[in-house]
Amino acid sequence: MELLERSTKKSKRMAKSNEVSMGALCRALKKKDNFLLASHVNPEGDAIGSILALDSLLRRLGKKTLIACEDSFPERLCCLPSKRWNQVKDIAPGRKFDALVVADCPTLERVGSVQTLLGPKTEIFNIDHHVSNSRFGHYNYIQPSASAAGEVVYDIFKHFKMKLNREEATALYVTITTDTGSFKYSNTTVKSHQIASELIQTGIDIEKINDALYATSSLEKLQLYSLLLGKVKTSADGQVAWVGLTREDLKRTGATYEDTEGFIDFLKYIKEVQFAFFLSEMDGNHGGQIRVSFRSKGDNDVAQIAVHFGGGGHKKAAGCMISGTLEEATQKILDQIKLITKTKK
Ligand SMILES: [Mn+2]
């Protein structure tokens, strides 16, 4: 009786958040025909690799697919094919989709203008690994133990008993190597290595992928790094480090926002630092806003700070947007860090 009660309670809870099993997810995918695929704005390796692999999988299942993103395909992911990538602004209005598949995206808002392509009948498949995922889909499959959303996509291939081809393996390798910082971060697991080993067995060119991903600095980027290194600040106890990028910094060096990706690791390399954050003064549609990336070491959780400001992410790597100036955003974040470190003590 008690068991029965418990299981009904559980199934009610499951129904509410629409969490599905891998089997149910794959059965539901099979029933749809016309897919829109998307991830978050400002997509990186995991977002893009996951979407490309899913696109290939669905087409092998005989489905119609269209990839849509607010942004263009980032240059630094040139080891992956961009030919199937579409920007929302280039998609003819009025196209109807049975389903939207979103990967590596903690909230629906993060898909940005892709939302304008959704009809009232479009069902949403939410495939992710963010602990903070809001379960926005009609079908939610969230695997927080996965190092990358690409690991979840790999499980979908396995469920369909589909052998990965080289292009799919390259896309999935990029998801894992970028989200684990080349298998260095604490989210790296035995499974990440096992999957990577299987991907390498398909004959993918690891050196070529890694050179494309990492040996790509421009002189402008190095000059921006030099400028930013000179602006690094730390708290009195040395445990918090941060740096703010202004639009002027980009103008002076000729570097781009994309060039700043990865800079935050320098802050983390300072021995005493437990919390690091990188602020970027935005332009265009996001003018007046500050984009913030967070990193932490040890047991410190930056996801809760990002969530406090309406963002999301993982315990050791998270992000958000804050309205206001660089100075205002910095103060708000320092206050928040003080608050959480105080409650911990
Ligand atoms: Mn990810």
Q: Residue 2 C-alpha to ligand 1 middle, in angstroms? A: 39
Q: Over the range 84-110, which residues count as b (16 or more CB within 10 Å of their CB) and which as e?
A: ebeebeebeeeeebbbbbbbbbbbbeb
Half-sphere exposure for 200 (CA within 13 Å, toward CB): 12
Q: Which residues are bridge partners to 321 per DSSP? A: 291
Q: What is the pLDDT of residue 215?
A: 82
Distance CA 235, CA 130 (A): 29
Q: What is the pLDDT of residue 274?
A: 97
Whose tokens are 């630094």? That residue is 76
Q: CB–CB of 197/106 below 8 Å?
A: no
Whose tokens are 């998307």? That residue is 38
Q: Residue 94 C-alpha to ligand 1 middle, in angstroms? A: 31
Q: CB–CB of 317/289 below 8 Å?
A: no
Q: Residue 4 C-alpha to ligand 1 middle, in angstroms? A: 37
Q: Residue 236 C-alpha to ligand 1 middle, in angstroms? A: 33
Q: Residue 163 C-alpha to ligand 1 middle, in angstroms? A: 23
Domains and their CATH numbers in the chain: 2-214 (3.90.1640.10), 219-344 (3.10.310.30)
Q: Residue 150 C-alpha to ligand 1 middle, in angstroms? A: 8
Q: Residue 327 C-alpha to ligand 1 middle, in angstroms? A: 29
Q: Residue 246 C-alpha to ligand 1 middle, in angstroms? A: 26
Q: What is the pLDDT of residue 10?
A: 42
Residue type, 217: S
Residues flanking ion ligand 1, Cβ below 5 Å: 46, 104, 149, 179
Q: What is the pLDDT of residue 342?
A: 84
Q: CB–CB of 166/202 below 8 Å?
A: yes
Mean pLDDT by groups of 10 residues along the chain of 345 residues = 39 62 98 98 96 98 98 93 97 93 96 96 97 96 98 98 98 97 94 98 96 89 97 97 98 95 93 97 91 96 96 93 97 96 74
User: Could you tell me how far CA 316 lies from the centroid of its own chain?
Assistant: 13
Q: What is the pLDDT of residue 12?
A: 41
Q: Residue 189 C-alpha to ligand 1 middle, in angstroms? A: 14
Q: What is the pLDDT of residue 285?
A: 84
**How is the beta sheet containing 64-67 ordered, strand by strand?**
64-67, 34-38, 99-103, 123-128, 139-142
Q: What is the pLDDT of residue 76?
A: 84
Q: Residue 3 C-alpha to ligand 1 middle, in angstroms? A: 36
Q: CB–CB of 106/129 below 8 Å?
A: no
For the chain, helix (H) and strand (E) counts, in that order, are: 12, 11
Q: What is the pLDDT of residue 4?
A: 38
